[in-house]
Structure 1
């Protein structure tokens, strides 16, 4: 993780996948009619735009191996209980301090870091994710689009009828009546859409309760989280209740209370270990996002693993290298097999210019977690920065492994281009540069480097075919755009 983006690897965040290295074509978000979008915005139904389309830009998406691994491990059984293919559900971390999670663009769940921090327990966090899985399993995204369209049409019809009647009257009264008609139409559209939204929220809550029961997780911790949401909702008391984008929080709380009546939250060593892992995630997010002094104050006197972890990160962010290394080395001495501690040590050293030591720390982390793509990327970067060209073949192999795990890892493509370039493999370097440009949305650069790569690659090689595919695809796309 880095201070600027909470992630040690911000380049790997890619909310809208494009062509991958195996030749897939870019996906696209559903296209909405301009007038429909305008009608919904006029009606105040902003939630519709975030429900079924993944924003291509604007979300502060971040990545971290430790957070992703644990959240994924907790969520996957819920996805299975929902009848979903867990590997098809993509989880994204959004660097926002608010309590929120939402589904967008298909089977994509976006989780705010603020939700992780304020959930309090893994059970509450998983409960929210289970709710989102309920939306996916029930097909609410498609139904939301249909409901939004119907709401917009109904609102537009009301507005047109009223404006037509007012036009017959003429004069200033016609203008005021027309304005009232527009307001009435917008209100009807909003109410119709939100009625659908409330129904979907209740259904997702019920589905979440069923999924949690199926995987043996208590649902009661969700209540504590919903109480926090209720406090936020109370600021809207004077508004029309129909204008709320979710069911009344008290009603949702009551539904869960009814379901969980008599439920006991079990205690076990496994659950205690899970809570300790969760506490580490909270400490990590807090330490990377809050001011260092605030973190040190929050964890003052806390000798837990999470507390010391937070202090190591806080001192690293204060550029107090000695203090940061002292705390992380203490944690490593206590848990030498914990690859996340070695990863953090590598990051601290790398960003302070001690690349040889950083490479060794990353190497240990990679040996302990050979399938952790982000750790492998960190190791490859540290190795490249040592300037030792004798390790280029090893670096290339590591990055190829990363791209097997994550074909859309933009940073891995950039580092691979550098490794091939230093090794004198110009064709492969240009192809990797084209892949990186493609993932970063720079189509013209991608096409240019792909065409240059063709001049250096053997015509019968897979790399040549891939470069040709990229060039042809972008050429065809450019031609279609001009037409």
Structure 2
């Protein structure tokens, strides 16, 4: 675990109805995608989004900005107070302010209740479709086959057009709301305008000229129109010429570099950050690229340069520790990972990585430290299946089978395996003293899993 680790959560059985970039209906299931988790990236996303969330009248503690491992330029909401951002969007962005513009737009969907109201547009479109099918079927039954088929096709086209018009109205509303949130937060809207220019280029990937694109068959208004509609209000904002905090911009460059190193093909990443580039960002990207390309010595060399430049940086130490751990050197990984945990104030994912390294040493003397570190990790971030898996293995190594089963139940509950969660929790209850917090937790998991399984059976 650790840097840009994949995190599998319970499947999200909803569809993304508010994608930022789309040339058709938004029908991509969130559950089909993987969530990327990284302490440094999540901290940056939280810091750049918090003032916008507050300006939107929402509680920052209740809103999550989640990174999806997908190279396409996209962002969406899919119910609840969660903004999903594709890794490809961060790679395409040039500034923190551009990402803030995207987040503001998506918050406009949340405050507007667009996911819930999306059913209204679908219902109206479905009504048109059903009516056209009835008319078409009646015509065909009367012997007018061609007329019946034409009626059906015309109805489907009308239904699609109605839904798309509804979607475009929602997108325009989210644009306007988002620009207002930025102004209220004292953040420039320049990034929102400049990102629309990037989206215009994306539109040309599917057509050589605007004349080749039917604006009435899009889920979103044309990017040029969106930019034009907002430009006046954004330029009149008192925050228009306000510069982004240089510290946030520095953090964005680091996040973008490590993301490219992790997500891009190693050859592509090394081309973007060639050896002649001796910046911090280049070392960061190349460390990931060499690690992914199975060149551990080169990866450690780049990580050592980062640590030499900033010896107390917890994320550089985390990177070095992870490379050593995943290269089969868990004992060597312990020192940098312990420093990383201390420097990050026990960041949950970094703590989980240290716990994994301690377990991987296969030294029984390290098991109690691993248990303590992992308990802190899952107490602060319960939605990390791998941390629970590692903690379960540690408990098993210590001979505490009941708590090993409880940790296993936690993991199964997170990944949506209700029956296995229930059986593991019930097994844990057999060995944990009744009335203790661990017993009550196991009981809660068992009851919730049983209820979820029954609901699924009824459906």
| Alignment TM-score, normalising by the size of structure 2 | 0.90
CA distance in 2, matches of 1:167, 1:239: 38
Q: Tell me which residue corresponds to 2:5.
A: 9
* Shift in alpha-carbon separation, 1:239–1:8, aligned structure 2, 3 A: closer
- 2:435 aligned with 1:469: no
The one-character-per-residue Cα deviations of 1:333-363 (angstroms, maximum 9, x if unpaired) are 2212211100100111001111112111111
User: Is 2:41 the counterpart of 1:67?
Assistant: yes
Structure 2, unmatched stretches of 5+, are 16-22
CA contact (8 A) 1:9 1:374 kept: no
CA distance in 2, matches of 1:110, 1:255: 25
Structure 2 equivalent of residue 41 of structure 1: none
What aligned pairs does 1:54-453 form with structure 2 within 5 A after superposition? Answer: 55=30, 57-168=31-142, 170=143, 174-234=144-204, 235=206, 237-261=211-235, 266=241, 271-300=245-274, 301-453=276-428
C-alpha distance after superposition, 1:107-136 (max 9, x if no partner):
121101111011110001110110000110
The alpha carbon displacement at 1:185 in A equals 1.3
Q: Is the 8 A contact 1:220 1:256 kept in 2?
A: no
CA contact (8 A) 2:48 2:248 kept: no
Does the CA-based 8 Å contact 2:10-2:414 persist in structure 1?
A: no
Distance 1:367 1:409, change over 3 A: same
Q: Does 2:434 correspond to 1:459?
A: yes
Other structure's SS at 1:83 match:
coil
SS at structure 1 position matched to 2:57: coil
CA contact (8 A) 2:348 2:377 kept: yes
| CA distance in structure 1 between the aligned counterparts of 2:41 and 2:436, rounded to whole angstroms | 39
User: What is the RMSD of the two structures over their aligned residues, measured on CA atoms?
Assistant: 2.4
The question of whether the paired residues in 1 share the 8 Å contact of 2:105 and 2:175 is answered with yes
SS at match of 1:97: coil
1:374 Cα deviation from its structure 2 partner? 1.0
Mean Cα deviation higher: 328-337 or 123-132: 328-337
Cα deviation, residue 476, structure 1: 4.5
- 1:395 to partner: Cα distance: 2.0
1:46 equivalent in alignment to 2:33: no
Q: 1:479 to 1:224 in 2, by over 3 A?
A: closer
Residues 482 and 304 (structure 1), Cα distance of their counterparts in 2 relative to 1, 3 Å cut? closer
- State whether residues 13 and 63 of structure 1, in contact with CA within 8 Å, keep that contact through their aligned partners in structure 2: no
Cα contact 2:10–2:415 (8 A) shared by 1:
no
Structure 1 CA distance, aligned partners of 2:154 and 2:193? 36
Q: CA distance change for structure 1 residues 111 and 359 in 2, over 3 Å: closer, same or farther?
A: same
Q: Matched residue of 2:135: which SS? A: helix
**Counterpart-to-counterpart distance in 1, 2:260 and 2:77:** 24
Counterpart-to-counterpart distance in 2, 1:302 and 1:213: 37
Question: 1:94: how far off?
Answer: 1.2
Count matched residues.
Answer: 445
Cα distance in 2 for residues equivalent to 1:96 and 1:479: 34
The alpha carbon displacement at 1:79 in A equals 0.6
Contact 1:92 1:109 in 2 (8 A): yes
Name the TM-score, length of structure 1 as normaliser: 0.86
For residues 195-241 of structure 1, what are the alpha-carbon distances to aligned partners after superposition, in whole Å with 9 as ceiling and x for unaligned? Answer: 11111111111111111112222212222221221122243543542
Decide which moves more: 465-474 or 429-438.
465-474
Aligned to 2:18: none
CA apart distance, 1:464? 2.3
